[in-house]
Amino acid sequence: MKSVLITGGAGFIGCHLAESLLRHGYHVRVLDSLIEQVHERGENGLRLPREVEMIAGDVRDAGKVKRALAGTSHVVHLAAEVGVGQSMYAVDRYVSVNDHGTAVLFQQLIDRPVERVVVASSMSIYGEGLYRDADGNLVDDAVRGEIGGGSWEPLDGAGRPLVPAPTPEWKRPSLASVYALGKYVQERLTLMLSAAYGMQGTALRLFNVYGPGQALSNPYTGVLAIFASRLLNGRPPLVYEDGLQRRDFVHVRDVCRAFVAALEHPASAGKVYNVGSGEHRTIAEVGALLAQAMGRASIQPEITGKARSGDIRHCFADVGQAEAQLGFRAQQDFSEGLAELAEWVARQQASDRAEEARRELEVRGLVA
């Protein structure tokens, strides 16, 4: 039987993935430190299936990692601190878990290699997505000017707004946050060391993952979970800038399908793939659609008119490579996915900490 270790596997994506891998005939083992910010009181309602072997431990603990790897043939590396904003002030924590934790994992894999390692990378490594200028030329190094200088949009050399385009895997990285830097390190370590020690490595650049089971009380998690927590408590979603920034939202079940494809398809070895829906929506639009799905359409998003350090304007996925090489394409309809999320959220309790997180960023000068 194939045996897989999922680091960070007791979280949102990990619990869904564990179920999916069990259905595909894997023996599943999980290593997770169960940190309070993500697992507070277990309130996300997710439980690992009883068939999963659970090891409580930190990915930076070499002894625990060694034990967790024993007898495994595959690894999915999800363990990471997650949050662009928080990463900009909790620098040592993010670098320790994301960079050093990945190094500890591979130090152990050098002595006991597996067939394949798939790491959860992130769309955040792109920084700004791909753009076209007014003449139709592609721009892969777009940079915004000073926030509040009259336009939220990246401009070309002549001061004209650039038009966002789907972002492919070849687009050069532009690391705008400590979180993005750590994800790039995880990705590069996985591909470099897997190849050096006879393993197959794959990196999946996840876009904005959503679905039942997100940590609703974590103010640094996915934007839909943060919005849902606000709405559940009768408060408007907080939308930074003017709300017209565009993102790609992909359902967690589709993400699990992508991980299974990356674990099993011969073409994935040594490759990087975008995992998104291939669709894009504005953040303000998504906030309003979620409010409607939750039966709280009267609560309109609050447009703050402020920007957070490390945020980017537009980024959405070009999904052609994953479809051509892995046969993977997202299937979940967004409206149906929102309805499912809203139904799940209605059964939850959540502490709304979005204002607390905003104050934390403001006092550190990370919101302008």
Catalytic residues: 179
Query: Which run of H or of E encompasses 39?
Result: helix 36-39
**Count of other CB atoms within 10 angstroms of residue 36:** 9
CA angle 323, 326, 328 (to 5 degrees): 50
Q: How many Cβ atoms sit within 10 Å of the Cβ of residue 359?
A: 11
Report the Cα 167 to chain-centroid distance in Å: 16
Are the beta carbons of 187 and 121 closer than 8 angstroms? yes
Phi-psi region of 327 (alpha: psi -120 to 50; beta: other; left: phi over 0): left
Q: Which two tokens stand for residue 199?
A: 């393993």
**Is the CB of residue 275 less than 8 Å from the CB of residue 118?**
no
Token pair recorded at residue 298: 């009267």
- CB 341 within 8 Å of CB 212: yes
Q: What are phi and psi of 333, to 5 degrees?
A: -65, 135
The DSSP element (H or E) to which 180 belongs, if any, is helix 178-196
